[in-house]
């Protein structure tokens, strides 16, 4: 009986423990499931919040669903995700028109910047295997050597192949398109309008036998456009009537494209249907650097591969606040050079002035400042680097020495007749190089460079390129290389230089030429007076060249004028009494 009672007690405790375990397990499962639901809920909220604030989300950008489409040309879309299908793979089909571009150059004339952009944009959009450049006469080069854009195109596009035509080469009218279609019927490929920038080129246009964007206004007048054709994909027209039929077939039956449109039409386009933009007037690189229009953006992408040009700027490695002057031959310091050195320190705010020369400076005005530790002479050898000594001119020697000094030390170079009119803003010291345009008119050159005052960091890319250019053109006159060939470096690499029109005003024989004013350019012999300006606010320096009479202390004391006012300001800022000089 006692054993039986013990067994019953054991069974009761065992059942009690089992129920306790089951309850505990149930509670643990309930807690686990609750936690899972909580994590899932928080995760969903996080994902939703992340989606709302993704950089690609139009809610964050405050852009309506269809509004962002027209903010940039199709040619300026962001590159595709590398994990997605490459759009270039779309032309891996056997039934497409050849990936060959045909560009037809007619007449005796210069190959302009717009023609360079036309071929470059077509090459960028279509990615062809070859570009045939058909010509009756190769592009001409002007006497002043500006129009070298055809040479530049050949250098950049190695699959551009010149081919001389055996037939006549009309620039416009039905005869031109009869020639175009003859070439396309024989070879297949894509016709490139002469002076149009391509916005886009969908690969599917190469599927049909003939697709044309050329539109006939009447039998003699046509709107130019892109034409895509397969080899022997249509019957070659032999007269104007057949031409109109073929163009109509390529536009309507096979789903044609619109002709190229003027820049003004492209600017107002909200549909994105136009794939090429015609440039009717002359165009230069400087015209697109700061053009905020759709065309300006497109042209910068074609020319430089960027939507906006940002000039290099970094204040963590600033231009040294030191001035450099060069004296050759006698090194006798004139009054205007004395004023220039004073203005470097007291007006421009530079810390030290170095006078580089082949012999010790002399003269009354050097005696006035030589004991000031901020003004120091540095001996340098006369340059003989690039040329034979017999061919070394004073201007060339000065230019070579200038480059060597700035590349080695950095700082601010100025000619001895440069007078600073106000303090150089701290922001300027962050640029790699600062120069200003010059006013000399020379043939078709749209602008030129003034190296009379140069701010530069050590080993700046612009000056290194300029030094290489000087070596390459060592047989050319130095003035031509210094003013004009150097400008070509800026045209190709506008991000290297702050090309500042308010950095300096040059004056020759009392005629000043502010380069921010319209019509500022003039022939050197003409030296037409420029527009008036405020020397205290409009410019940072004045480059004063006066053959007769030279600026002297008596002119400052007893006459008046812009240069007199500038000189008096320098002396007053330096705390020097004019009457005591």
3, pLDDT greater than 50: no
Which positions ≥6 away from 334 have C-beta within 8 Å?
363, 365, 416, 550
3-state secondary structure of 411: strand
pLDDT tens-place string over residues 272-303: 889 999 999 999 999 999 999 999 999 999 99
Confidence of residue 74 (pLDDT cuts 50, 70, 90): very low
Percent of the chain with pLDDT over 90: 74
Q: Which two tokens stand for residue 480?
A: 């031509």
pLDDT tens-place string over residues 446-486: 999 999 999 999 999 999 999 999 999 988 999 999 999 99
CA 44 vs. chain centroid, Å, equals 46
Q: What is the mean pLDDT of residues 353-378?
A: 96
Q: What is the mean pLDDT of residues 73-95?
A: 56
* Residue 199: predicted pLDDT: 96
Confidence of residue 40 (pLDDT cuts 50, 70, 90): low
* Residue 41: predicted pLDDT: 52
* Residue 437: predicted pLDDT: 98
Q: What is the mean pLDDT of residues 122-146?
A: 97
Q: Which two tokens stand for residue 391?
A: 């061919």
pLDDT tens-place string over residues 166-196: 988 999 999 999 999 999 999 999 999 999 9
149, pLDDT greater than 60: yes
Q: What is the mean pLDDT of residues 519-527?
A: 88
What span, in angstroms and rounded, lies between the C-alpha atoms of 207 and 204? 5
* Residue 94: predicted pLDDT: 82
Tell me which residue of 62, 130, 133 sits closest to 100, measured CA to CA.
Answer: 130
* Residue 22: predicted pLDDT: 53
Which range has the worst mean pLDDT, 323-337, 430-444, 519-533, 554-568?
Answer: 519-533
The answer to whether 238 and 178 are in contact (CB under 8 A) is yes
* Residue 299: predicted pLDDT: 98
Which residue ranges form the domains of the chain, and what is each CATH number?
Answer: 100-304 (3.90.550), 322-580 (3.90.550)
Among positive and negative, which fits the CA dihedral 431, 285, 531, 145? positive
Q: Which helix (H) or strand (E) holds 351?
A: none
Percent of the chain with pLDDT over 70: 83
Which positions ≥6 away from 222 have C-beta within 8 Å?
172, 173, 174, 176, 177, 214, 215, 216
pLDDT tens-place string over residues 208-258: 999 999 999 999 999 999 999 999 999 999 999 999 999 998 887 666 789
* Residue 546: predicted pLDDT: 81
What span, in angstroms and rounded, lies between the C-alpha atoms of 429 and 433? 9
The answer to whether 375 and 453 are in contact (CB under 8 A) is no
Cα-based torsion angle of the residue sequence 287, 288, 294, 297 in order, rounded to the nearest 10 degrees: 180
Confidence of residue 10 (pLDDT cuts 50, 70, 90): very low
Which positions ≥6 away from 559 have C-beta within 8 Å?
none
The answer to whether 498 and 428 are in contact (CB under 8 A) is yes
Q: Which two tokens stand for residue 250?
A: 């390529």
536, pLDDT greater than 70: yes
68, pLDDT greater than 50: no
Confidence of residue 387 (pLDDT cuts 50, 70, 90): low
* Residue 575: predicted pLDDT: 96
User: Which residues face 379 on adjacent strands?
Assistant: 357
Helices 113-126, 149-156: crossing angle, 10 deg rounding: 20
Average pLDDT over the chain reads: 87
66, pLDDT greater than 90: no
70, pLDDT greater than 70: no
Tell me which residue of 506, 462, 508 sits closest to 485, measured CA to CA.
Answer: 462
87, pLDDT greater than 80: no
Q: What is the mean pLDDT of residues 265-277?
A: 91
Q: What is the mean pLDDT of residues 194-200?
A: 97
* Residue 67: predicted pLDDT: 36
Q: What is the mean pLDDT of residues 7-26?
A: 50
Pairing of strands 215-218, 221-223: antiparallel
* Residue 36: predicted pLDDT: 60
* Residue 28: predicted pLDDT: 62
Confidence of residue 83 (pLDDT cuts 50, 70, 90): very low
Is the pLDDT higher at 544 or at 547? 544
102, pLDDT greater than 80: yes
């Amino acid at each position: 009986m006692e054993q039986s009672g013990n067994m019953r007690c054991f069974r009761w405790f065992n059942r009690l423990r089992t129920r306790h375990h089951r309850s505990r397990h149930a509670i643990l499962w309930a807690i686990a499931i609750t936690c899972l639901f909580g994590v899932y809920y928080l995760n969903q909220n996080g994902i939703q919040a992340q989606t709302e604030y993704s950089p690609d989300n139009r809610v964050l950008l405050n852009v309506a669903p269809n509004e962002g489409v027209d903010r940039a040309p199709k040619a300026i879309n962001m590159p595709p995700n590398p994990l997605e299908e490459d759009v270039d793979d779309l032309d891996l089909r056997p039934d497409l028109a050849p990936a060959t571009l045909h560009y037809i150059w007619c007449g005796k004339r210069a190959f302009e910047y717009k023609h360079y952009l036309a071929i470059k944009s077509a090459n960028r959009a279509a990615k062809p295997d070859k570009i045939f450049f058909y010509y009756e006469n190769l592009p001409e080069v002007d006497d002043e050597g500006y129009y070298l854009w055809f040479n530049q195109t050949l250098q950049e596009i190695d699959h551009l192949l010149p081919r001389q035509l055996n037939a006549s080469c009309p620039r416009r009218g039905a005869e031109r398109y009869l020639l175009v279609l003859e070439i396309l019927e024989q070879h297949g490929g894509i016709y490139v309008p002469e002076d149009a920038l391509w916005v886009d080129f969908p690969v599917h246009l190469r599927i049909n036998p003939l697709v044309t964007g050329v539109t006939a206004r009447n039998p003699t007048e046509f709107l130019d456009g892109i034409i895509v054709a397969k080899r022997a994909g249509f019957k070659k027209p032999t007269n104007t009537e057949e031409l109109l039929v073929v163009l109509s077939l390529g536009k309507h039956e096979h789903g044609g494209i619109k002709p190229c449109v003027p820049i003004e039409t492209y600017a107002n386009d909200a549909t994105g249907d136009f794939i090429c933009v015609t440039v009717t007037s002359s165009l230069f690189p400087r015209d697109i650097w700061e053009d905020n229009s759709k065309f300006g953006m497109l042209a910068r992408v074609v020319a430089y591969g960027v939507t906006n040009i940002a000039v290099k700027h970094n204040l963590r490695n600033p231009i040294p606040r030191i001035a450099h002057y060069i004296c050759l031959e006698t090194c006798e310091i004139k009054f205007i050079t004395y004023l220039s050195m004073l203005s470097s320190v007291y007006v421009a705010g530079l810390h030290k002035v170095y006078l580089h020369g082949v012999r010790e400076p002399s003269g009354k005005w050097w005696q006035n400042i030589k004991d000031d530790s901020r003004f120091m002479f540095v001996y340098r050898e006369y340059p003989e680097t690039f040329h034979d000594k017999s061919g070394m001119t004073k201007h060339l020697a000065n230019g070579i020495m200038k480059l060597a000094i700035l590349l080695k030390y950095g700082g601010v170079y100025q000619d001895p007749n440069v007078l600073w009119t106000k303090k150089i803003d701290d922001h300027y010291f962050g640029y790699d190089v600062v120069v200003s345009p010059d006013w000399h008119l020379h043939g078709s050159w749209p602008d030129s460079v003034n190296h009379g005052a140069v701010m530069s960091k050590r080993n700046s890319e612009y000056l290194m390129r300029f030094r290489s250019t000087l070596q390459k053109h060592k047989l050319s006159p130095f003035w031509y290389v210094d003013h004009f060939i150097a400008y070509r470096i800026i045209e190709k690499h506008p991000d290297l230089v702050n090309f500042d029109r308010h950095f300096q005003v040059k004056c020759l024989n009392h005629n000043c030429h502010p380069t921010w004013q319209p019509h500022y350019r003039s022939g050197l012999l003409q030296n037409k007076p420029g527009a008036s300006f405020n020397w205290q606010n409009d410019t940072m320096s004045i480059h004063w060249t006066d053959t007769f009479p030279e600026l002297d202390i008596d002119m400052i004391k007893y006459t008046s004028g812009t240069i007199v006012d500038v000189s008096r300001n320098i002396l007053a800022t330096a705390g020097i009494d004019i009457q005591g000089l």
